[in-house]
Amino acid sequence: MKEITLKPFEGYEYAEGGVCAAAGFKASGVYCGIKKSPIPDGNESPISNIKNDICMVVSDCDCTSAAVYTQNKVKGAPIIVTKDNLAKAGDKMRAIIANSKNANTCNSDGEHKAQAMCKLTADALGIEPEQVIVASTGVIGQILPIEPVAEAVPKLVEKLDYKGNLEAATAIMTTDTVKKEIAVKFDIGGKTVTLGGMGKGSGMIHPNMATTLNFYTTDCKISSELLQAALDEVVKVTYNCLSVDGDQSTNDMVCIMANGKAGNAEIKAGSEEFEVFKKALYIAMMSITKMLAKDGEGATKLLEVKVDGADSLQTAITVAKSVVGSNLLKCAIFGADANWGRVLCAVGYADAEFDINKVDVKMSSKAGEIHVCENGAGIPFSEEEAKTVLLEDEITITVSIGDGEFSAAAWGCDLTYDYVKINGDYRS
Amino acid sequence: MKEITLKPFEGYEYAEGGVCAAAGFKASGVYCGIKKSPIPDGNESPISNIKNDICMVVSDCDCTSAAVYTQNKVKGAPIIVTKDNLAKAGDKMRAIIANSKNANTCNSDGEHKAQAMCKLTADALGIEPEQVIVASTGVIGQILPIEPVAEAVPKLVEKLDYKGNLEAATAIMTTDTVKKEIAVKFDIGGKTVTLGGMGKGSGMIHPNMATTLNFYTTDCKISSELLQAALDEVVKVTYNCLSVDGDQSTNDMVCIMANGKAGNAEIKAGSEEFEVFKKALYIAMMSITKMLAKDGEGATKLLEVKVDGADSLQTAITVAKSVVGSNLLKCAIFGADANWGRVLCAVGYADAEFDINKVDVKMSSKAGEIHVCENGAGIPFSEEEAKTVLLEDEITITVSIGDGEFSAAAWGCDLTYDYVKINGDYRS
């Protein structure tokens, strides 16, 4: 069960359609053979009937936009080009083109190729190259062949569809085993607004906007400035609290385009409507974050670490990330072993100030909850009950610090034989 | 081959005897049954004919001393008691008592039990409790039974031997598969001085003095102050550059006792002799650090990451640690896959300032060297040759930053199926 359980939120409804859920967005995906072998091999998506490797998302009209990028010093060429384009045409973005199989990073002509991808897309759509967001994911350090992309673009344009979201979502998958899509509907001033998105990624995922490719679309009317503010705030408590293996990728981005087709009055800074929009963004991004965690390379379980009672948001985030990133704990979760000592140990080496002797730890799942540690020391619990709780595939560890009112969560997965297998020979 | 290749250093000779190599140090080890099961099970040392779980090291006369401890907020009770004892009697330390199987941490009466271990040892040896260093390693959060220790102490005293180092070295092993001992002889003012030691640890090992238990003895005449200065300086470039899994343990310490029996004139601060002594300490600690890395839980290869051309020692250390700690790279090394993109990626997210476009990467082993990345981009190399180089069991990755004169190294190992297996169910 790689699908996550979606958490209900009052006033928000989950919807189908992913990146095409919002009004006025079409998408498409095709297989163009960016990697030499015509038949996908090895670490490919197991969804064999849709083996796309390039996709396009297009809005019917100009969009405001915002994006956040990897903090790695090694930045993929598409990141540089997209950043440039957003700086030039951030209020009139129209399209996204993204490929898998080659990250177009650490090679000699990456920027030129990324620009070529924008130009090909723009020419085919009759827009300007700077109105295009470009993204690539896959192996680092190999030349990106532009010919397959050039052949694919007309096909992508031809196949653009208001229901093309699945074709697009599967085209960006690398070692992902499930596609990752989300959409939520909510009300802004009597108008139904929709926000949807898709993501990819299962390895090389770590806090600090290392993450993966993630594209969101909305028909909300909102400025690029407010979109960026919302994105910065929400990424901090969703994507940046995700850790699969501690590695921070070179190509990752989260971007969002808003075309205003919902017909709401433009959202104002500091308004209640802005809060409603940010919460929708949080619901969507938190859901994709959990999907990314649960589909972590080789993962069998989603691990959610909740920290409460912290004296600041930063402390809560730091402790949650420290626990979710512990290889030893991840192995214990794989083995359904209630090894709370590893939780406390990871709490102890978190770079934050608090009294370890006040820390409580609980482990829970839909099968129940066990209290394993009180005031920094172990307490007796039923090993049998613990096993029942930890054999589930969505595990929550709650760390209560007892120092204040702040809370945060971080998401990850267990560390398994398959993680090692997948990463022992990714390139072949 | 879990044994490491010892690197030769002019003016220093490797010797047998470990913690008993220096004049005037005896040691012993016995099995006392700290864990309930009389017959060792599961994650025990494979050296089945010596299954000790408690050991003692004693100097014939008072010793100066120094120690460094874990930086985890969760500190084992033995750490607190040893710190106390060194503060009271640091210039007249006499003995070490250390057990495996139970870390005596995060339980309700840990300090009392650690003090009792010192008292039992002191009474049996006719010394004061504060002259004893106490250490424990093993599972966190369980009550340490004192009865087996009380029964063991007289036996340990009876068995004390100038050749008892192996009995002691095996008593502190947990998931270690080989014992870790080292000794070097060198000349100080015409006198032959010996420095030896033993270490344990294979999981929960990470930079920042998280490390394991490590006990060093020397017959050098040197003050506690200079011992501490030497220890602080050397730990920074040896133990603190070791990473097996990113987890930082609660009980780890490195301590050293010096009894002056070599007859050298007392070492002075700033002297050439102090440099000679520090180098001996570096050779011994670097060797044990490599042993710990190569015997990392589930490891099949020792990974050494050398960084040169950095503008500061800190930058060199930070980059080396970042690379050696990458789970993705560790998996690639397990698979003998020359995935230099993962090296560059980990260089890129290291928290230091430099130009990624000047970075060179080489991979080498005794089978040869391949140059894989120049000026931050991949260059062609023979995959066949790369495989030959990476199939060896001691791999060096050299990262040249091209910014200055500083260099450093960090040590780790590959990430394997067995790491997951060992840690999926350690407690059972």
B299 vs A contacts (CB less than 8 Å) = none
For residue B89, what are the domain limits?
13-294
| Confidence at residue A204, expressed as pLDDT on a 0 to 100 scale | 54
Are B226 and B121 members of one domain? yes
Largest separation between any pair of C-alpha atoms in chain A: 68
CB contact (8 A) between residue A74 and residue B376 = yes
Separation between Cα atoms, residue A162 and residue A282, nearest integer Å: 24
Tokens of B331: 């998996």
Are A286 and A312 members of one domain? no
Which one of B209, B345, B357 would you mutate to disrupt binding with A, by most A Cβ within 10 Å of its Cβ? B345
Instruction: Name the active-site residue from B70, B121, B194, B211.
Output: B211
Q: The domain that contains B231 carries what CATH number? A: 3.60.70.12
Residue B422: pLDDT above 80? no
How many CA atoms, within 13 angstroms, populate the side-chain half-sphere of residue A267?
31
Q: Of A272, A294, A316, which marks where a domain is finished?
A: A294
A332 vs B contacts (CB less than 8 Å) = 423-426
Domain for residue B1, yes or no?
no
| Confidence at residue B424, expressed as pLDDT on a 0 to 100 scale | 76
Per-residue model confidence as pLDDT tens digits over B151-167: 999 999 999 999 999 99
The stretch B21-44 carries a mean pLDDT of 75
The stretch B107-127 carries a mean pLDDT of 95
B107 vs A contacts (CB less than 8 Å) = 377-378
Are A289 and A313 members of one domain? no
Domain for residue A326, yes or no?
yes
More confident residue, A316 or B106: A316
Q: Is A385 on the interface with B (CB under 8 A)?
A: no
Are A85 and A198 members of one domain? yes
- Under the banding of pLDDT at 50, 70 and 90, the label for residue B176 is confident
Q: Of A251, A267, A294, which marks where a domain is finished?
A: A294
| Confidence at residue B203, expressed as pLDDT on a 0 to 100 scale | 61
Q: How far is CA B355 from CA A77, B65, B309, B346, B377, in A?
A: 16, 43, 12, 14, 13
- Find the angle CA(A136)-CA(B377)-CA(B360) to the nearest 5 degrees: 140
B337 vs A contacts (CB less than 8 Å) = 424-428
Domain for residue A35, yes or no?
yes
Residue B379: pLDDT above 70? yes
Q: Of A266, A294, A322, which marks where a domain is finished?
A: A294
Nearest CA in chain B to A417: B417
Domain for residue B5, yes or no?
no
Are B152 and B287 members of one domain? yes
Domain for residue B112, yes or no?
yes
Are B376 and B285 members of one domain? no
The reported pTM is 0.81
pLDDT averaged per 10 residues in sequence order, chain A, 428 residues: 88 98 98 65 43 95 95 88 97 97 86 97 98 91 92 98 97 87 97 97 50 90 98 92 70 93 97 98 96 88 96 94 89 90 88 91 96 90 94 96 94 87 64
Question: Which range (A207-211, A341-345, B75-79, B376-380) has the least confidence?
Answer: A207-211
Per the structure, the count of domains in chain A is 2
Domain for residue A3, yes or no?
no
Residue B40: pLDDT above 70? no
Catalytic residue at A211?
yes
Residue B60: pLDDT above 90? yes
Q: Is A202 on the interface with B (CB under 8 A)?
A: no
Residue B131: pLDDT above 50? yes
Are A285 and A348 members of one domain? no
Are B257 and B307 members of one domain? no
Q: The domain that contains B329 carries what CATH number? A: 3.10.20.340
Per-residue model confidence as pLDDT tens digits over A356-383: 889 999 999 999 999 999 998 888 999 9
| Confidence at residue A92, expressed as pLDDT on a 0 to 100 scale | 98
Separation between Cα atoms, residue A149 and residue A146, nearest integer Å: 5
A345 vs B contacts (CB less than 8 Å) = 72, 74, 140, 204, 247-250
- Under the banding of pLDDT at 50, 70 and 90, the label for residue B242 is confident
Q: How far is CA B316 from CA A359, B83, B327, B406, B408, in A?
A: 36, 31, 20, 7, 5
CB contact (8 A) between residue A345 and residue B142 = no
Highest-confidence range of A300-314, B36-50, B171-185, by mean pLDDT? A300-314
Nearest CA in chain B to A344: B74
Are B258 and B354 members of one domain? no
- Under the banding of pLDDT at 50, 70 and 90, the label for residue B290 is very high
CB contact (8 A) between residue B335 and residue A250 = no
Are B189 and B215 members of one domain? yes
CA distance B400 to chain A (A): 15
| Confidence at residue B42, expressed as pLDDT on a 0 to 100 scale | 40
* Start-end of H helices in A126-218: 146-159, 165-171
Which residues of chain A from 317 to 336 reach within 8 Å of chain B, CB to CB?
A: 325-328, 331-332, 334-335
Residue B211: pLDDT above 90? no
Angle between helices B224-237 and B272-294 (to 10 degrees): 50
Which residues of chain B from 59 to 88 reach within 8 Å of chain A, CB to CB?
A: 71-74
Separation between Cα atoms, residue B222 and residue B269, nearest integer Å: 10
| Confidence at residue A133, expressed as pLDDT on a 0 to 100 scale | 98
Nearest CA in chain B to A334: B424
CB contact (8 A) between residue A247 and residue B340 = no
Are A214 and A144 members of one domain? yes
Contact A204, A245 (CB under 8 A): yes
Separation between Cα atoms, residue B69 and residue A199, nearest integer Å: 43
Q: Is A139 on the interface with B (CB under 8 A)?
A: yes
Are B362 and B235 members of one domain? no
**Other CB atoms within 10 Å distance of the CB of residue A326:** 28
Domain for residue A2, yes or no?
no
* Mean pLDDT, rounded, of chain B: 90
Nearest CA in chain B to A415: B420
Nearest CA in chain B to A247: B326
B250 vs A contacts (CB less than 8 Å) = 345, 348
| Confidence at residue B245, expressed as pLDDT on a 0 to 100 scale | 59
CA distance A197 to chain B (A): 27
Domain for residue B7, yes or no?
no
Highest-confidence range of B110-119, B201-210, B327-336, by mean pLDDT? B110-119
Residue owning tokens 């196949």: A159
